[in-house]
Structure 1
Amino acid sequence: MPDKGRILIIEDETVLRMMLQRLLLSQGYEVLMADRFQTAENQIKQESKVDLVLLDLNLPGGTGFDLIRMVKETWDVPVVVLSGMKQESSVIRALEEGAVDFMQKPFSPQELMARLKRYMPCGDVSA
């Protein structure tokens, strides 16, 4: 299966992070992962580029809102937030900081893939 692009997953929940990794790898994406704020910050500073960032807002060591800004300052790539935060203010703040989409946990893997395909450069190419 051809490489459809690189996705950085920033998620502290191990089970969810591994599920997302399996899902994205099975769809032909290259996957990078970070499980806390500092690891994500290092990935953003050290990686040449990714095509999309999947980001949780609640992370050990910092907030996802700061990471959205950091991603937007470093790369011109879409940020999709996956969060258990259900308050409208959190959704609005994430979008105002630069996220292109916000999905509340729990979410459907099929819906996530449909949304990601809208933002990926090779999203319309079938495998």
Structure 2
Amino acid sequence: MIKMTRSRIFLAAADEELRRKIKNILMKEGFIVIGETGDGSSALRMIRTLDVDLIILDADLPGVKGFEIARIIKEERIAPVVVMSNSWQKTCRKSKRNTDESFESHRGRGLPQNSAPKYG
């Protein structure tokens, strides 16, 4: 008979809500989240003391960054690492904010006279 073991996962994400959502998804799929934290220093300390099968890291952790932890974990051959990043979301939010500010600053002014492109 084959004995199935459930994978033990460590999760480190700065955003507590994101961490909770990921943890819930993992647990629903049958994984065991054996540790979690919101900062890099704690993550590295905890990972070294736990028996983990997979580590999921936020790239932008406070303290020791996710990519630095991933490098250390690889050197120490502890477990496979997945590094996630929400920089795309930050970029989109910043872009939207800049667009909104630009729109607000020009609202009601209309186009400058003779601003239409000339053809021909």
TM-score (norm 1): 0.60
Is residue 15 of structure 1 aligned with residue 28 of structure 2? Answer: no
**Per-residue deviation at 1:77?**
2.5
Mark the CA change 1:12 to 1:3 in structure 2 (over 3 Å): closer, same or farther: farther
Higher strand residue share: 1
Match for residue 81 of structure 1? 83
Contact 2:67-2:83 within 8 A present in 1 as well: no
**Per-residue deviation at 1:18?**
0.4
Q: What is the total number of aligned residue pairs between the two structures?
A: 86
Task: Give the match's secondary structure for 2:73.
Answer: helix
Is residue 41 of structure 1 aligned with residue 14 of structure 2? Answer: no
Match for residue 115 of structure 1? none
**Runs of 5+ in structure 1 lacking a partner?**
87-103, 106-127
Task: Give the match's secondary structure for 1:55.
Answer: strand
Q: Give the distance between the partners of 1:56 and 1:21, measured in 2 at CA.
A: 13
Amino acid at match of 1:11: A
Larger radius of gyration: 2
**Per-residue deviation at 1:37?**
0.9
Q: Give the distance between the partners of 1:75 and 1:85, measured in 2 at CA.
A: 27
Is residue 71 of structure 1 aligned with residue 73 of structure 2? Answer: yes
Q: What do the CA deviations read for 1:4-55 (whole angstroms, capped 9, x no partner)?
A: 21111110100000001111111111102121011101112211x2111111
Q: Give the distance between the partners of 1:80 and 1:45, measured in 2 at CA.
A: 16
Q: Give the distance between the partners of 1:41 and 1:77, measured in 2 at CA.
A: 12
Identity over aligned pairs, percent: 34
TM-score (norm 2): 0.63
**Per-residue deviation at 1:57?**
0.8
Q: Give the distance between the partners of 1:76 and 1:40, measured in 2 at CA.
A: 13
**Runs of 5+ in structure 2 lacking a partner?**
91-120
